[in-house]
């Protein structure tokens, strides 16, 4: 009887090592909603040696630091992750969760490290997570939860440009985009990993791969299914803005809940400002950019916000105030996001040339960003190459014209415009050549002309330095991989 009791207790102890009970499921849901305070209350009720309790707790803290970009909180997170990994490592080694949860906690930390600019640390952390998951996959090949983070990593490996492949090979990293998407699709069916896997899958398909109607439908369904999740709403808004669909982004923003225990997200103020700017309501845009700068204590989009405040005043005829905001670009924020890099580059160029942008071209760009293509066409109707003095403006003009016609479905007019942009951008320190090449690649890929598409994607990769190099290179390489498979 005593022996049976001891064996029974031991078995129960192992089972409780990884108990994703109803309370923790609720806590996890609260994290995805960004109701972090309530999530923490639920987490506190659990055993400190339950692997899932530790996992959800680390997820909540990682989300908080990712949103706030606080270096102080990041240092606390690093210590917490170290302790969490030690505890989970001592749990049941025969359970597939033992390696999986450790890998996921590492991956969450890597996302935070990347956001804060600790890229080398992030790379090492991702590699460590990858090795744990690959080991777990060999031990437990039918354990579907492995697929969530592995899927993300495999897509990222697949989109690494060819000239950097030696790094992934040296580190023993293997994977491709199709494999990663398949793995993420499997993970979306899992009751534990489903929400996160869908979030990652839609993010990747929108930011690395070209957005198509299927993805747009999936994004809409995701937002409709999780209307009480600030994380889902953020994804919907971010992708809609990325897809030049400001009206859709606006509708999603109206679903955002203020208060009620939700983590305040100043980024929603930023996106609101973007929409007003794209619509030409400069006063409203300025008020929301100011609100973002006042509320947000991190670094993302700070330089970009000051650049946009320059634009709102410049297009309103307030040149003196515009220049004052322009000076702030150099004083605040960091050059980590591509939009912040672009803002800094604009400031640097202005300090050298003292030249202000063409207002019609600027308004056309903003209208295109919002998906208002007919309005954008109206903005440039009185412009031609002869009215523009610099090759940079001529490259800009032709790129905008190409994007307008491309989105209006007239590729016969878009193609020569992109080609002219490339010609004017030659030997200039600008993204227009690379961006035009990328769009030409997409046009010919859609036309099923793989040879021409590959040629343009490879040309997009050939540009050595510009403010959007990371995103252009990732997209070009992903398209090349897709064509060659």
pLDDT of residue 346: 95
Judge contact between 378 and 413, C-beta under 8 A. no
Judge contact between 205 and 159, C-beta under 8 A. no
Q: How confident is the model at residue 464 (pLDDT cuts 50, 70, 90)?
A: confident
pLDDT of residue 417: 97
Judge contact between 23 and 57, C-beta under 8 A. no
Given a cut of 50, whether residue 278 has pLDDT beyond it is yes
Q: How confident is the model at residue 164 (pLDDT cuts 50, 70, 90)?
A: low
Given a cut of 60, whether residue 50 has pLDDT beyond it is yes
Judge contact between 433 and 395, C-beta under 8 A. yes
pLDDT of residue 6: 36
Residue-averaged pLDDT of the chain: 91
**Cα 16 to Cα 13, 139, 195, 385, distances in angstroms:** 5, 21, 24, 71
Given a cut of 70, whether residue 229 has pLDDT beyond it is yes
Residue 112 corresponds to which tokens in the numbers above? 């935070």
Q: Of the candidates 428, 360, 449, 346, which has an alpha carbon nearest to the alpha carbon of residue 400? A: 360
Q: How far apart are CA 432 and CA 428, in angstroms?
A: 9
Given a cut of 60, whether residue 3 has pLDDT beyond it is no
**Cα 209 to Cα 88, 403, 431, distances in angstroms:** 35, 18, 19
Q: How far apart are CA 359 and CA 365, in angstroms?
A: 10
Q: What is the mean pLDDT of residues 290-307?
A: 97
Q: What is the pLDDT of residues 339-365, one digit of tens each?
A: 999 999 999 999 999 999 999 999 999
Given a cut of 50, whether residue 335 has pLDDT beyond it is yes
Q: What is the pLDDT of residues 95-119, one digit of tens each?
A: 999 999 999 999 999 999 999 999 8
Residue 58 corresponds to which tokens in the numbers above? 């680390």
Q: What is the pLDDT of residues 396-436, one digit of tens each?
A: 999 999 999 999 999 999 999 999 999 999 988 899 999 99
Q: How far apart are CA 393 and CA 358, in angstroms?
A: 8
Given a cut of 70, whether residue 219 has pLDDT beyond it is yes
Distant-in-sequence, close-in-space partners of 19: CB < 8 Å, separation ≥ 6: 47, 50, 52
Q: How far apart are CA 72 and CA 87, in angstroms?
A: 23
Q: Of the candidates 10, 30, 435, 447, which has an alpha carbon nearest to the alpha carbon of residue 230? A: 30
Residue-level length of the chain: 485
Q: How far apart are CA 389 and CA 12, in angstroms?
A: 78
H, E, C per residue of the chain: CHHHHHHHHHHHHHHHHCCCCHHHHHHHHHHHHCCHHHHHHHHCCCCCCCHHHHHHHHHHHHHHHHHHCCHHHHHHHHHHHHHHHHHHHCCCCCCCHHHHHHHHHHHHHHHHHHHCCCHHHHHHHHHHHHHHHHHHHHHCCCCHHHHHHHHHHHHHHHCCCHHHHHHHHHCCCCCCHHHHHHHHHHHCCCCCCHHHHHHHHHHHHHHCCCCCHHHHHHHHHHHHHCCCCHHHHHHHHHHHHHCCCHHHHHHHHCCCCCCCCCCCCCHHHHHHHHHHHHHCCHHHHHHHHHHHHHHCCCCCCHHHHHHHHHHHHHHCCCHHHHHHHHHHHCCCCCCCCHHHHHHHHHHHHHHHHCCCCCHHHHHHHHHHHHCCHHHHHHHCCCCCHHHCCCHHHHHHHHHHHHHHHHHCCCHHHHHHHHHHHHHHHCCCCCCHHHHHHHHHHHHHHHCCCHHHHHHHHHHHHHCCCCCCHHHHHHHHHHHHHHHHC
Judge contact between 281 and 310, C-beta under 8 A. no
Q: How confident is the model at residue 171 (pLDDT cuts 50, 70, 90)?
A: low
Judge contact between 123 and 107, C-beta under 8 A. no
pLDDT of residue 193: 83
Q: Of the candidates 302, 235, 308, 255, which has an alpha carbon nearest to the alpha carbon of residue 278? A: 308
Cα torsion through 470, 311, 419, 164, rounded to 10: -10
pLDDT of residue 19: 95
Q: What is the mean pLDDT of residues 142-146?
A: 92
70 φ/ψ sector (left φ>0, alpha ψ -120 to 50, else beta)? beta
Q: What is the mean pLDDT of residues 204-232?
A: 91
Q: How confident is the model at residue 170 (pLDDT cuts 50, 70, 90)?
A: low
Residue bearing tokens 């793989």 = 450
Q: How far apart are CA 97 and CA 52, in angstroms?
A: 9
Judge contact between 285 and 374, C-beta under 8 A. no
Percent of the chain with pLDDT over 70: 94
Residue 370 corresponds to which tokens in the numbers above? 């919002």
Q: How confident is the model at residue 318 (pLDDT cuts 50, 70, 90)?
A: very high
Judge contact between 61 and 78, C-beta under 8 A. no
Given a cut of 60, whether residue 7 has pLDDT beyond it is no
Distant-in-sequence, close-in-space partners of 129: CB < 8 Å, separation ≥ 6: 103, 104, 106, 107, 110, 149, 153
Q: What is this structure's pTM?
A: 0.90
By the 10 Å C-beta count (0-12 exposed, 13-18 middle, 19+ buried), 334 is classed as: middle
Q: What is the pLDDT of residues 15-40, one digit of tens each?
A: 578 999 999 999 999 999 999 999 99
């Amino acid at each position: 009887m005593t022996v049976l009791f001891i064996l029974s207790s031991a078995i129960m102890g192992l089972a409780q090592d990884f108990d994703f009970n109803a309370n923790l499921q609720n806590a996890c849901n609260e994290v995805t909603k960004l109701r972090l305070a309530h999530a923490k209350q639920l987490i506190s009720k659990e055993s400190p040696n339950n692997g899932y309790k530790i996992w959800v707790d680390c997820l909540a803290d990682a989300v908080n630091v990712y949103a706030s970009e606080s270096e102080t909180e990041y240092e606390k997170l690093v210590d917490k992750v170290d302790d969490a990994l030690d505890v989970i490592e001592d749990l049941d080694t025969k359970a597939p969760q033992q390696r999986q949860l450790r890998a996921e906690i590492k991956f969450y930390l890597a996302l935070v490290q990347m956001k804060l600019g600790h890229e080398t640390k992030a790379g090492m952390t991702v590699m460590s997570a990858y090795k744990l998951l690959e080991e777990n996959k060999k031990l437990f090949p039918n354990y579907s939860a492995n697929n969530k983070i592995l899927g993300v990593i495999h897509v990222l490996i697949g989109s690494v440009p060819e000239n950097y492949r030696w790094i992934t090979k040296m580190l023993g990293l293997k994977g491709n985009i199709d494999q990663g998407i398949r793995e993420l699709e499997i993970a979306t069916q899992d009751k534990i990993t489903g929400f996160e896997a869908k979030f990652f899958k839609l993010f990747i398909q929108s930011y690395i791969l070209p957005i198509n109607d299927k993805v747009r439908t999936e994004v809409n369904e995701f937002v409709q299914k999780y209307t009480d999740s600030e994380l889902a709403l953020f994804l919907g808004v971010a992708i809609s803005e990325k897809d030049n669909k400001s009206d859709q982004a606006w509708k999603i923003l109206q679903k955002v809940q203020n208060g009620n225990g939700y983590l305040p997200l100043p980024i929603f103020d930023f996106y609101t400002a973007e929409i007003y700017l794209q619509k030409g309501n400069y006063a409203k845009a300025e008020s929301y950019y100011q609100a973002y700068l006042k509320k947000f204590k991190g670094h993302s989009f700070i330089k970009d916000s000051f650049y946009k405040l320059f634009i709102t005043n410049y297009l309103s005829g307030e040149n003196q105030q515009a220049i004052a905001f322009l000076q702030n670009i150099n004083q605040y924020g960091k050059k980590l996001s591509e939009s912040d890099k672009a803002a800094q580059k604009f400031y640097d160029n202005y300090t050298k040339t003292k030249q202000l942008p063409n207002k019609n071209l600027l308004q056309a760009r903003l209208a295109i960003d919002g998906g208002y293509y007919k309005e954008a066409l109206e903005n440039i109707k009185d412009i031609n190459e002869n009215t523009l003095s610099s090759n940079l403006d001529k490259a800009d003009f032709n790129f905008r014209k190409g994007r307008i016609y491309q989105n209006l479905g007239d590729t016969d007019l878009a193609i020569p415009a992109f080609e002219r942009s490339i010609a004017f951008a030659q030997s200039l320190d600008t993204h227009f050549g690379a961006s035009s090449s990328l769009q030409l690649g997409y046009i010919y890929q859609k036309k099923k002309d793989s040879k021409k598409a590959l040629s343009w994607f490879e040309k997009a990769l050939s540009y050595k330095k510009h403010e959007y190099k990371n995103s252009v290179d990732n997209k070009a390489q992903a398209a090349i991989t897709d064509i060659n498979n």
